[in-house]
Every structure is written in structure tokens, then in C-alpha cells.
Structure 1
Amino acid sequence: MADPFPLYRRLREDGPVRRVVIAGGLDAWLVTRYEDALAALSDPRLSSDVRDASDPRLIAQLPEFERESMLSTMLRADPPDHTRLRRLVSKAFTARRVAELEPRIQEITDRLLDAVVPAGRADLVADFALPLPVTVICELLGVPVEDRHDFQRWTDAMLLRGQELPDPAVVDEAWRRMRAYVTALMEAKRAHPEDDLLSALISAHDEEQRLSHDELVAMTFLLLVAGYVTTVNLIGGGIAALLAHPDQLALLRDRPELLPDAIEEFLRYDGPVSPGIARFAREDVEIAGVAVPRGATVVIASAIADRDPARFPEPDRLDITRRDNGHLAFGHGIHYCLGAPLARLEGRIAIGTVLRRLPDLALAVPPAELPWRPGGLRGPARLPVAFTPGGRAD
């Protein structure tokens, strides 16, 4: 978990498409090279719907409430349902709408750092990288921020997938509680609608009938969880990468105008989704000369492809001046991450403000002791740091 990249390199060098065994003992085909991964992400023969998989264990091992919720989301939908669902929320994540959030994101960032700068020590995940995107997505959706501790706890139980499958009863209970919470939240918004995204989605269900009830629950859940989990890892992982590369940290402090390029490099170098994204073959398909049978699970390994030397010179080197950084961390094609503009903005504000306000920033533990989250969502679980104590933001 701490450094999967030597293994990723061996997998890529073994061949562009190879058989692997994933969690639960399931067979899959791993796509490891950039050119093939880019093509696969937009190949309509590779479905996002797990019901297109031939192995019944894929659905059977999902907790009951996960099957009910996630199979109705745009994450697991193909056109035309995907097109309809994505259109309903896309206006909330346009570049212009996201830019309007910048002052509020900066305000939240400064408030969180105000609480830690006098101490000279912090866990930049628990104290900063986690509450920042949670607060932002809660305000965007219209979710009470005071509820965040509950749904964070449930989300952790639902998403922690390592080499061993978790206790199904524990996971199912978390899904049940999350679904009950989302349903109650929707009823409250229905009774007292406000100027927020969740109220708009409820209107699309009640008045315009563009969303079924299951789709409304699933959409709310997806936006709530996906709206913060990967951004936590982008912020925490980006800061961890800088602390592991003092030359790049010093360069970014000296040249803060490089911050947008640095965010793209963090996403490429050690992005928040690892090793990649699952798809399911609708028909027999050939990928890089390898025959993949209908119904097969295909793991498009964006994290491995993003270190492909055929696409990125010196791919194992963190280089915040890197240009032409067409990484696949946000995906590609119709499922390209809807929240990418918001994640980029939060990453820029968060990391840029940390560098300005926390002088002499350094890890408070040896790098080898830094814990990483298990499963397919990659990032530091904790990020203990020390710095010169300071005052509040101006």
C-alpha cells in the first residue's frame, strides 16, 4: 500500500493486457499501458454496468443495499440513462459555477488552518484534507455539515476494500444507515426546499419526473460520497508527495504560479484512484492484440498507465514543471469525472494555502510509518506534520 509502483511497473512490463486475480478471488483482465487504457475508457463495448459481467459473484458479493443504491447511479450507467442522469447535475459543476465557489473554499480553508497553526503540529488528513471537501460538498448539496461525522463513518465502512473482503454484515449495515439517512434528508428537503443541488434534484423527481426514486437516492449518495473522498486523497497525497520530494516543495514555494501544473502532476504521479476503473465486456473484444471474452471484468489501470514511459518521460519522477500532462486520473470519455473542476480548485486552494501558512512544514513521523488507505481509493490515512507555529490568516 505504501509504494505499489514497483509492482505496477512489473505488471506493465509483463504485457499490455494480462490476467489477474482481484479481491474476492475474481478473475479480471488488467490494461496497463497508456494508449490502450485511453482507448478502453471510451470504448462502448466496455460497459460500466456490473450486470454485464458474466461472473455472478461480482454482484453476489455486493451488500444488498449497495446493489440497490449503486446500480442506479450514473457511475454504473451507460447511455441513454447515463446521458440523462449526468445532464441533471452537470450545471452545478461547470467551470463558471465552480469558480464562484472560490471565496467560500478559501474561507473554509483558512478557518481550518486557523485551528492548527498555533500548535505547530497537525494531522493534515483529519484536521484539514478531510473536513475541507466534506464541508464544500455539504454546502453545495444542502446537507447539514453537522451530520458529516456520521456519513464519513459509514463511507469508511463501505469503501475500505483491501486484499481481504470486509465483514459483509458490517458493510451492509453501513449501506443501510446511509440509505436511511439520505431518504430522511430528501424528505426534509421536500418539505422545505432551498437553493441547493439536492432540492433541484428532488424537483426533477417530483415535478419533471426525470429521476426515479431509486435514481434520486443513488444520485444523492454518489454526489455526497464521490464529492469528497477522492479530493481528500488528492490533497493529502499531494502534500505527502511534496514532503517526500524536498526539491519540488522548495520549487513550489519559490514559484507558486506552478501550482496548477503541480496539481496535475500529483494526479498523474500518485492519483486518488489506484490501480484503476472496472469495466465489463459487452461482447468479445480485442485489446492490444489480446482476446478478452464477453462478460469479462476489465480493470483499466489508470494509475499504472499514468507512469507509462511511452507517454511520460521519466514517469517515476515527480516533476511539477511537467507539461502535456494528459493523465487519466479523472478518467476519459463519457464518464470523465464530473467533479474534476471542483477537485482541482479545492486542491489548488488547499495546498497553496498550506504552503503559505505552514512554514518549515515536515513530516512528524518517518516516511515509512505513514499509513495508506487500503483498497482502490488511494491516499494517506493520516498525515502527521510539524511546522513553525503561526497566527491567524489576515
Structure 2
Amino acid sequence: MTTTEEAVAAAERCTPEYRSDPYPVYAHLREAAPVCPMRPPHGNETYLITRYEDAKAALADPRLSKDMYGAIDAYRRIFGDSSMALDDNMLNADPPKHTRLRRMVNSAFTPRRVQSLRPRIETVAAELLDACPTREPLDLLPAFAFPLPIVVICELLGVPPEDRSRMQHLSTTVAQTGFDPESKRAQQQAESDLHAFFTELITAKRARPGDDLLSALIAVRDNDGDGGLTETELVSTAFLLMFAGHKTTAYLIGNAVHHLLSQPAQLRLVRDDPELLGPAVDELLRYDGSVESATFRYATEDVEYSGTRIPKGALVQIALNSANRDPRKFDRPDEFDVTRKGAGAHLGFGHGGHYCLGAPLAKLETELALTALFDRFPRAALARPEDGPRWMQVPFPAFRGLAELPVVLDPAD
């Protein structure tokens, strides 16, 4: 990567080389164009923010709206009308609506409820590892990293076991579609199917409540009068919790296993001192987090960062993984160091009013997944390290995750 024009083109078009390793592009842009005008495939004027301090400020800037209905033309061009029924939630809202919706979910998604999941997460992890072959290569993503969080979030919401694989398939379709007509049709059908599923599930839960988060949200909706959730918001919130509650955690677990197996000295540090596990997960979030960029914002007025004016109406994309590699904030940012002091300042879960509500659950699941895996299989190794990692290709960098994770859990001597 030699010129700013080449860096911008790679970021705009999400080239395979950029998706495999975006960090040289980010390093160049942080120095040459830290607030970079772009014209991605969706065609809307967009500014990419890559420095840590700019990113942290932008994440909490009330002039950068999350209410994509306020930028309705841009929203429709990017996502299509079918997305609207699933996007009427706190992720896509500003105060006071965001405040109201987050309060509703907070009342049901309590720290006590999250911590109560610990024994179940440990059990699910053990059962998944029981089913894995140990002496031959396997892809750890479908065998372990993906099913663990999907089981947990589905049990938390009260989604029946027979529907979990379908939920995973539909949410993957929503996340990975491109801008071509065939991909858009697949996305729209998946969104329609998910909307219908959650509408039916809410009807069933309302008739027969259970001890689950969705039943608790229904109770909030039905008992809170004018201040509660609308029916559309309830369906959309259920979708948001399901989608965000497993996709990003699955990629985080995969990234974590890959980097720990790629750097055995770091893995040994964690295994020798279990108290390093929590800081290690923070360092993994900083070094190569699964949420590469924050969801879109748009400028409700002209704003300026690092001397660049972002005009009113432009979309803003905040590169979290770039911010987390900014040498102005982190010493030796391109090194993975589980003993790093201050790794918890990463922006992997965002910042400000939209800080990830599910962060404690995501960290708990990742810590327990790594503990289960490496306690059970201390000799686990990458199956084809000489090939290098193969990263997921997406039309824009919302997620950062592996396309596969070939490992051997217990290599023969």
C-alpha cells in the first residue's frame, strides 16, 4: 500500500487483500487521511474515521445520528425497505427514543441474568467439545465457536431448540449479502422470514410466558403503558438481541483461538496464569476485534474531526479496529500482548450511549469458551498454519471474522 488513493480504493471496495489484512490500510489512513472521504459500493457519500481519539469522540457525538430513518433515502439505498421492520430498535435510535428502548431492555437483561448463565455456558461448551474429533483436522467455527453463542442466546431469549439452526442460517444471510440483485433478494427474504418468526414466537410467549428474556420483554411491553415498547419495537429488539448476541461473539471466539494458537508464547502466559484470561480477552478485542466498524451514523449538521469537515447528511463509518491500533493511544499497537496494561481502553464494544449492552455476556462466553477448549485440549494446534488464515469476505467491513478455523485438538505424537 503506497498511496492514499490506493488505500482509499481498497477500503471503498473491500478488496480481498484488504479484507485479509486491513491494518496496513488503516495505518496509512491514520497518518495521511484520518477522516477520509469515500464512495463505497452503496454509493452514498461516506467519511471513514480511523484515529482513536476521533473515533471515541464520534461514537458519543450527538451530532452524528444513529436514527437511520432520519437519513431515509441513504438507508433505503443501502439496506432496502425490507430492513426497516427489523431495525426499529435501540441500535438505530437517538435519545429520547434510544433512552426509552435501552431502559426497557436493561430492565430484562440484568447482570444477574447474565451471570446466571455461567453454568449453562460451561455445560454447552463441554458438550460441543465432547462431539469433536480429536486426532483429525476439524473446522472449529461450525463445531464450537458458532454453536456456543447461538445456543446461549436462543436459550436466553426462549427460542425453541429446533429453530436454532434456522436462526443462524437466516442471520448469516442478512449479515453477508452484497449489493447485487441476487444477494439483495436473499437478504430481503431472510429479513421477512425472521420478522415472521419473531412475530409468531412473541404471540406464543404472550399466551404461555416462560422464564426467558423474551417473555420478560413482553411483560415490559404489556405492563408499561405508553412508555413501553411498541409491538414493532418488540419484534425488532428480539431480532437485535438474537443477531448481536451470537454473530459477533462467534467471530470473537474464532479470532481469539486463532491468535492464541498462532502465538504459543501468549497462550502459555494465559494457561500459566488464569487471572490473565480477562485481560487477554480485552487485548484480543483491541488487537483484532470481531466488530471492525461501528454501524453507520450520519451527520445532522456539519462536523469536523482532525481538520476535515464532514458535511451535513454524509454517512460516517468509524473504524474501531483501526482506532484500537492507533499508536497515539497504544504502545506497540501491532503486537498481541496478553499482559498489556490499558488494553481495556479499546473501543471494541463502542463508547458512549450506544456502548454494547451485551458486552458482559460476550466477554463471559469468550472467557469460558477459551477455558473449556484449552483446559480440555492443551496441545491443540492449527491444522494448516503454513496456509495462513482465510478471512471472511464481506461487502463492507462491519464484521471481522475467519471463514474457517482448521485445528487438530489433540495431535498425535
Normalising by the smaller structure, the TM-score range is: over 0.9
- Report how far residue 157 of structure 1 moved: 1.1
| Partner of residue 156 from structure 1, selected from 156, 172, 188 | 172
| In structure 1, C-alpha distance between the alignment counterparts of 2:259 and 2:156, rounded to whole Å | 29
Cα contact 1:158–1:174 (8 A) shared by 2: yes
- Report how far residue 289 of structure 1 moved: 2.1
Unpaired runs of at least 5, structure 1 = none
Equivalences for residues 223-234 of structure 1 within 5 A: 223-234=241-252
Residue of structure 1 equivalent to 2:379: 360
Structure 1 range deviating more: 133-142 or 113-122? 113-122
- Report how far residue 251 of structure 1 moved: 2.0
Is 1:62 aligned with 2:84? no
Is 1:202 aligned with 2:218? yes
Cα deviation code 1:64-114 (max 9, x no counterpart) = 3212221x1100011111111111111444433322221111111111111
Unpaired runs of at least 5, structure 2 = 1-18
Secondary structure of 2:253's counterpart equals: helix
Cα contact 2:379–2:411 (8 A) shared by 1: no
Secondary structure of 1:38's counterpart equals: helix
Equivalences for residues 278-289 of structure 1 within 5 A: 278-289=296-307
TM (normalized to structure 2)? 0.89
| Partner of residue 151 from structure 2, selected from 127, 132, 135 | 135
Cα contact 2:177–2:187 (8 A) shared by 1: no
| Partner of residue 378 from structure 1, selected from 388, 400, 403 | 400
| In structure 2, C-alpha distance between the alignment counterparts of 1:378 and 1:242, rounded to whole Å | 16
Equivalences for residues 1-394 of structure 1 within 5 A: 1-53=19-71, 56-70=73-87, 72-116=88-132, 118-161=134-177, 167-209=183-225, 210-325=228-343, 326-366=345-385, 368=387, 370-375=389-394, 376-388=398-410
Q: CA 1:244–1:165 in 2, change beyond 3 Å: closer, same or farther?
A: farther
Counterpart of 1:143, as a letter, is V
Cα deviation code 1:133-156 (max 9, x no counterpart) = 111111111111221111111111
Secondary structure of 1:261's counterpart equals: helix
Cα contact 1:277–1:301 (8 A) shared by 2: no
Cα contact 1:193–1:199 (8 A) shared by 2: yes
Structure 1 range deviating more: 134-143 or 310-319? 134-143
| In structure 2, C-alpha distance between the alignment counterparts of 1:244 and 1:341, rounded to whole Å | 26
Cα contact 1:277–1:302 (8 A) shared by 2: no
Cα deviation code 1:189-223 (max 9, x no counterpart) = 11111121111222223333411111011011111
Taking only the aligned residue pairs, the percentage that are identical comes to 47
Q: CA 1:258–1:367 in 2, change beyond 3 Å: closer, same or farther?
A: farther
| In structure 1, C-alpha distance between the alignment counterparts of 2:247 and 2:45, rounded to whole Å | 27
Secondary structure of 2:128's counterpart equals: helix
| In structure 1, C-alpha distance between the alignment counterparts of 2:78 and 2:116, rounded to whole Å | 42
| In structure 1, C-alpha distance between the alignment counterparts of 2:375 and 2:336, rounded to whole Å | 21
Cα contact 1:179–1:217 (8 A) shared by 2: yes
Q: CA 1:261–1:235 in 2, change beyond 3 Å: closer, same or farther?
A: same
| In structure 2, C-alpha distance between the alignment counterparts of 1:206 and 1:93, rounded to whole Å | 17
| In structure 2, C-alpha distance between the alignment counterparts of 1:175 and 1:163, rounded to whole Å | 15
Q: CA 1:211–1:94 in 2, change beyond 3 Å: closer, same or farther?
A: closer
Cα contact 1:52–1:295 (8 A) shared by 2: no
Counterpart of 1:386, as a letter, is V
Q: CA 1:193–1:389 in 2, change beyond 3 Å: closer, same or farther?
A: farther
Q: CA 1:92–1:242 in 2, change beyond 3 Å: closer, same or farther?
A: farther
Structure 1 range deviating more: 142-151 or 96-105? 96-105
TM (normalized to structure 1)? 0.93
What value does the CA root-mean-square deviation take over the aligned residues?
1.9
Aligned length: 388
- Report how far residue 25 of structure 1 moved: 2.9
Counterpart of 1:354, as a letter, is L
Q: CA 1:165–1:48 in 2, change beyond 3 Å: closer, same or farther?
A: farther
Counterpart of 1:77, as a letter, is A
Cα deviation code 1:347-389 (max 9, x no counterpart) = 1000121111113211112354533222321111221100227
Secondary structure of 1:275's counterpart equals: coil
Cα contact 1:17–1:32 (8 A) shared by 2: yes
